[in-house]
Chains A and B, each alone.
Chain A
Amino acid sequence: MNLWDFPVYLLQHKLQSGEISSVEIVRAFRERISQVEGKVKAFITLDEEGALREAARVDQEGGYTGLAGIPYGLKDLICTRGMKTTCASRMLEDFIPVYDAFVVAKLRETRALLMGKTNLDEFAMGSSTEQSAFFPTRNPWALDRVPGGSSGGSAAAVSAREVPFCLGTDTGGSIRQPAAYCGVVGLKPTYGRVSRRGVVPYASSLDQVGVLAQNVRDCALVFSIIAGHDPGDTTCVNVPVPDFVSALDEGVKGIKIAYPREYFALGVDEEIKAAVMKSLKKLEELGAIVEEVSLPHSEYALPAYYLLAPAEASANLARFDGVRYGYRDLEADNVIDMFAQTRGTAFGAEVKRRIMLGTYALSSGYYDAYYLKALKVRRLISSDFDKVFASYDLIVTPTTPTPPFIIGAHVEDPITLYMNDILTVPVNMAGLPAMSIPCGLTRGLPLGMQIIAKPFAESLIMQAAYAFEQNTEYHSMKPELEV
């Protein structure tokens, strides 16, 4: 086994026992990246040399606590002081923030090593990473397929073993869907669990930063570092952060798991349904109580999401006007034209589409019919979950309706592409935590199972996911990337 194949917790163990140094770890991953990155194209920016320098410093200091000496990748929408943060957009192609995101500061504090910034759909708007202004990322399991999105670069990088973990962001499924497509674990925390400060927003009321890793234990380790209160983000709640790692072993005995029938309709592939049902059986064998329930408004989550998220985005992306940072059109001789030409030139097609849609949904005469209506539907979706969680601890569903699709397959058909998020979007609408874990393969492509919990009950999700993982082999499957 190569060093790059080791998960975080084993690398940590090897560091602590003095078996290897952090420099050796970074060198190993650098080698791995040189082997596979040309094919996968997970990274927009790589800084292996910077990571090596930091590794040397960590080795010198010793005391491998937390994530000290462990390399990682960051979705290139999370700001890094002194390192380009492009959001995969021409708009920010050369943008170097003068500040770190709160989560980056946390990872620096624990002395984790930033290897580079991973690819995404421009400004996180997409489900395939094809909307990156620079290049599409490829699925390590099948290079002609998408890795999912928008955190496609992060999922692919973990799957291809280019880094042991990554941070991504999830607005409507952007961590869970690529995690499912790339056969890795992806955690989208409760809205308010992790600070959004320094994370370029897509839809502020839905965005959350989360973790992509090889397994549940790694996820818990990383999540312990990034979760918690930030006084600089008023939507980041001041609640205690439990010990996620030690809770892992508590098993699923007596835990009440619901599976909503709507999530097994909605155009979900038969193989996926079968794989998730089989997984539910497994959980039942392990002592969980599994029952069918209904979340009646599920099918309305996606249309409501495609009004709310673009509406917020239309304001969030308005600041890119060429004045203080980013691309600027130099031809225009007045400021109004400068704004419009800067934005018309530097935003990609999907970003412009969503800005237009969101602007329209908020505009005079349409606000009630679109934006307000969507807010009301959001209430209905959230209440559906409340009702189920009154009697159940967890909800289990498939993560995606289909396995990863061929690159370019849906380029001309945004609605089909949007449908990819149909099982993940309701969770963001209700602000709940959820995780996708591998639960099978179909035609050599990985499948994901989604576990959803009440607000701030990430620990219970991981506990169940870990029990499942310990009793199955899916998480140890990895793509056979030819080197």
Chain B
Amino acid sequence: MVLNIKEVEHVAGLARLTLKPEEKKEMVARLSSILNYVDKLNELDTDKVEPLTHILPVNNVFREDKTEPGMDRELLMSSTDMKEDGQYKVPKIM
């Protein structure tokens, strides 16, 4: 296995995903097999290759600094019930 359960737990923590014990076990196996597969890339020498981050030969796309009013708050917040006084409500931080 490329990954162990500790690493899976660490990554799940970063990704904020609660995983059940059986999901963790499955994740170890599946992610390991995918990582084994992608190891194929190491057959290629890419030392002198420039990474390709943007496929389009386009740059400098801007908008002018003009304002529009925000969206109607009732409408914007209609997608949740967890709100109070025009604000989103979440459980305590700590």
A interacts with B: yes
Q: Which residues does A use to contact B, with CB under 8 Å? A: 95-96, 98, 191-192, 205, 231, 234-235, 237, 297, 299-300, 303-304, 306-307, 314, 318, 321, 323-326, 328, 332-341, 343-345, 347, 349, 352-353, 355-357, 359-360, 363, 370, 372-380, 382, 414-415, 430-431
Question: Is the CB of B84 closer than 8 A to any CB of chain A?
Answer: no
Contact A376 to B38, CB < 8 A, known contacts A231-B63, A344-B18: no
CB proximity of A476 to chain B, nearest CB, Å: 36
Residues of A within 8 A of B8 (CB): 356
A185 to B20, CA, bound (A): 42
CB within 8 A of A372: which of B30, B43, B51, B71?
B51
CB <8 Å contact, B17 and A376 = no
Q: List 11 A-B contacts (CB under 8 A).
A: A98-B79, A234-B58, A314-B15, A344-B19, A359-B15, A374-B41, A375-B52, A376-B51, A379-B52, A414-B30, A415-B34
CB proximity of A133 to chain B, nearest CB, Å: 16
A300 to B49, CA, bound (A): 15
What is the interface residue range for chain B against chain A? 35 or more
Residues of A within 8 A of B7 (CB): 360
Contact A357 to B34, CB < 8 A, known contacts A323-B88, A333-B91, A339-B16: yes
A8 to B7, CA, bound (A): 53
In the complex, the number of residue pairs spanning A and B with C-beta atoms less than 8 Å apart equals 161
Scan B67-89; emit 1 where CB is below 8 A from any A CB, else 0: 00001000111111010000010
- Tell me the chain B residues, 41-56 only, with Cβ under 8 Å from chain A: 41-44, 46, 49-56
CB proximity of A414 to chain B, nearest CB, Å: 6
Q: Which residues does B use to contact A, with CB under 8 Å? A: 3, 7-8, 11-20, 23, 26-27, 30-31, 33-35, 37-44, 46, 49-56, 58, 61, 63, 71, 75-80, 82, 88, 90-94
CB <8 Å contact, A382 and B78 = no
Residues of A within 8 A of B91 (CB): 332-335, 337-338
CB within 8 A of A303: which of B3, B27, B38, B53?
B38
CB <8 Å contact, B14 and A334 = no
CB <8 Å contact, B15 and A356 = yes
Contact A98 to B56, CB < 8 A, known contacts A234-B61, A333-B91, A363-B14: no
